[in-house]
A and B are shown apart, each in its own frame.
Chain A
């Protein structure tokens, strides 16, 4: 290209050239908006939340006192609140375990056995529910699980009423009907969050070449040992990634237990109640810190146990 040709190039071309020759400028331009968003709005609100939890509410006036104090945190560690935290954590753990147990075989089938066409259909099947309204889906589950609903009818047809009644008679998790028991809440949570487990597990399994499984068999390992020593450790980062979704989404949700479930509140519902009707924003803030702390502990333990070694 001659000097004259360079001079005559369009402004857009000159901009492209400048960015190509100055990669740092390009990076700066690309990263500034997301970093501003992350730093100011996202982390900023999180720290505002943390700060809020160190204020407390005046018992007589009901007003928030903007002074640093541990009064709210003391309030958090009362029996009633610990009960909420414990119940929510147990539910999140159960949903995560259920999603892993249901999701793993499906993910394995999708990666190892399904034809291209079948795989596309399964992807569609897994993601289809995410395209429709969450509220509509939860309400339709209320109908499915109701005392007059499909499941009750189906169990009558199959002469399994005794099984359903036996389940509902269980202490703590049972209740008058599926739609008003913790079992029902569990089923809906499992349904709503399952795609978030399957997709990362599929991604992790895609990265385990077939020859590794053959090599393990070749070296004398029966299928069970191959699963334990090769497939599972390599898929574990995917399962942990999925469990981060299922666990944290369950910890924070307040809509599902409000529509389907017992009258005992979960963390999300407690937060909703405290910042709304009760007007106790500091306690709501403190309760919000709890899931964050639980997730931090969970990830630390997972790392200690070597869940990310294969990354």
Chain B
């Protein structure tokens, strides 16, 4: 965060398509050099935000500033931002090299320098020697890297990424997450990253904005979003959470105020096990067991109504935990109960 002027600033921005408000009253600031994620389910407005920054859409109300400059009416080709598209949008009639050099060619950079920088970029994304290939001859992961190189070669001040890993398989996606994060540190460019994958947003971002129905529910660091969700929606969308409200909340915490508790924060033990001081506990019966390898997920029917999901780490190969139908005692520390705002999911 080298300068005081934010890389991107939205103030009360609205964009509507017909009657539908794709984003409504959205405001945020992205610091220079930050890895900022826009997280939300499809149709929540995150992609619209990205397209507003790129200039493919114009806001119906509010202002958008990029590095302190109001970009109202500035077309995409005059903005100092570049985009990595979800479908990569590589030009099929050009080679990998021509694709990467496209932005420089448009800017009339001399051929020799163009070629040198393309070489560097392809090396950076580990595609050296692929220059002459056509996009159709590349794998999904390689195309993704070409798209990245094609955007980064222009040295944009902000790089926009629209679900860039969505089309890759799990292993490759995880490898690319690490690489992208490392690359971002290396080039020091502000990354604005759109994703519906909460794991991706949590693992890569400096800060995350959680979108729902065209509005921002919460903006914070990944840890804060996960440990202290502001609303029931955030608690439910980011990670898995037990949502307790009404009668159940009152019985467990003594207050009708709704709260959420993460499954891994709850300990599961035999009914007669001792409970440490200051812990909240509840008795119940194991309803179902799902074995996940690293952990086991129990659904426990509570005495007096309601149920809680518990994640139990399989740290000991001889500890098989309670069987289905067994009576158990659940316990957790009161501070892990996340109080939620009034909004419901």
- Cβ distance A97 to chain B, nearest Cβ, rounded Å: 23
Q: Please tell me the size bucket of the interface on A.
A: 10 to 19
| A29 nearest CB across to chain B (Å) | 34
Interface 1/0 per residue, B87-131 and A, CB below 8 Å: 101111100000000110011000000000000000000000000
B311 within 8 A of A: no
Q: Are B93 and A233 in contact (CB under 8 A)?
A: yes
**Are the C-beta atoms of A221 and B83 separated by less than 8 Å?**
no
Confirm or deny: B76 has a beta carbon within 8 angstroms of a beta carbon on chain A: yes
Is the Cβ of A215 less than 8 Å from the Cβ of B107? no
| A215 lies within 8 A of B85 (CB) | yes
Complex partner residue of A209 from B56, B87, B93, CB under 8 angstroms? B87
Those of A196-217 within 8 Å (CB) of chain B: 209, 211-212, 214-217
Asked if A218 and B93 make an inter-chain contact with CB atoms under 8 angstroms apart, the answer reads no
Chain B contact residue count (CB 8 A cutoff): 24
Alpha-carbon separation in the docked complex, A219 to B80 (Å): 9
Q: Across the interface, which residues of B come within 8 angstroms of A230, CB to CB? A: 91
Tell me if B92 and A218 are in contact (CB < 8 A): no
A221-B106 contact given A214-B56, A230-B91, A234-B92, CB 8 Å threshold: yes
Say whether B307 faces chain A, with CB atoms less than 8 Å apart.
no
- Classify the interface of chain A: helix, strand, loop or mixed: helix
The complex places the Cα of A214 from the Cα of B83 at a distance, in Å, of 9
Decide if B54 is an interface residue (CB 8 Å cutoff): yes
Please judge, given known A-B contacts A214-B56, A214-B76, A214-B85, whether A219 and B93 are in contact too, CB under 8 Å: no
Cβ contacts under 8 Å, A158 to chain B: none
Is A220 an interface residue, CB under 8 A from the partner?
Answer: yes
A17 nearest CB across to chain B (Å): 38
The answer to whether A211 and B77 touch across the interface, beta carbons within 8 angstroms, is no
Contact A234 B93 (CB under 8 A): yes
Q: A230-B91, A233-B93, A234-B93 are in contact. Are A218 and B54 (CB under 8 A)?
A: yes
Residues in chain B near residue A209, CB distance under 8 A: 87, 89
| Residues of chain B in range 113-172 having any CB-CB distance to chain A below 8 Å | 150-151, 154
Whether A218 touches B106, Cβ cut-off 8 Å, given contacts A309-B93, A310-B93, is: no
In this complex, what residue of A is CB-closest to B147? A215
* Per-position 1/0 for A158-186, Cβ under 8 A of B: 00000000000000000000000000000
Contacts of B56 in A (CB 8 A): 214, 217-218
Residues on B with C-beta less than 8 A from A220 are: 77, 103, 106-107, 154
Q: Could you tell me the dominant secondary structure of chain B's interface residues?
A: loop
Q: In the assembly, what is the distance between CA of A229 and CA of B102, in Å?
A: 10
The verdict on B43 contacting chain A, using a C-beta distance below 8 Å, is no
Instruction: Give the shortest distance, in Å, between A308 (CB) and chain B (any CB).
Output: 10
Instruction: Say yes or no for A70: interface residue by CB 8 A criterion.
Output: no
- Select from chain B the residue with minimum beta-carbon distance to A219: B103
Write out, one digit per residue, whether chain B residues 34-64 have a CB within 8 A of any chain A CB (1) or not (0): 0000000000000000000011100000000
Structural contact, B89 and A221, CB atoms closer than 8 A: no
Asked whether B93 lies within 8 Å of A214 as measured between CB atoms, the reply is no
- In angstroms, Cα B154 to Cα A211, docked, is 19
Residues of B near A212 (CB, < 8 A) are: 89, 91
Find chain B residues with CB under 8 A from A218 CB.
54, 56, 76-77, 81-83, 151
Give per-residue flags for B210-247: 1 if the beta carbon is below 8 A from chain A beta carbons, else 0: 00000000000000000000000000000000000000
Minimal beta-carbon separation of A208 from chain B (angstroms): 9
B87 partner, pick from A211, A219, A221, beta carbons under 8 A: A211
List the B side residues contacting A233 at CB < 8 Å.
Answer: 93
A46 within 8 A of B: no
Q: How far is the CA of A214 from the CA of B54 in the complex (A)?
A: 9
Interface flag for A23 (CB, 8 Å):
no
B75 interface hit (Cβ, 8 Å): yes
A222 on the B face (CB < 8 A): yes
Give the CA-CA distance A301 to B245 in the complex, in Å.
Answer: 75
Besides A209-B87, A217-B77, A234-B93, 14 more A-B contacts (Cβ < 8 Å) are A212-B89, A212-B91, A214-B83, A215-B90, A215-B91, A217-B56, A218-B81, A219-B151, A220-B103, A220-B107, A221-B102, A229-B106, A309-B93, A310-B92
27 inter-chain pairs at a CB distance below 8 angstroms, sorted by A residue, are A211-B85, A211-B87, A214-B76, A214-B89, A215-B85, A216-B102, A217-B56, A217-B75, A217-B76, A217-B77, A218-B81, A218-B82, A218-B151, A219-B82, A219-B102, A219-B103, A219-B150, A220-B106, A220-B107, A221-B77, A221-B106, A222-B75, A225-B106, A230-B91, A233-B93, A310-B92, A310-B93
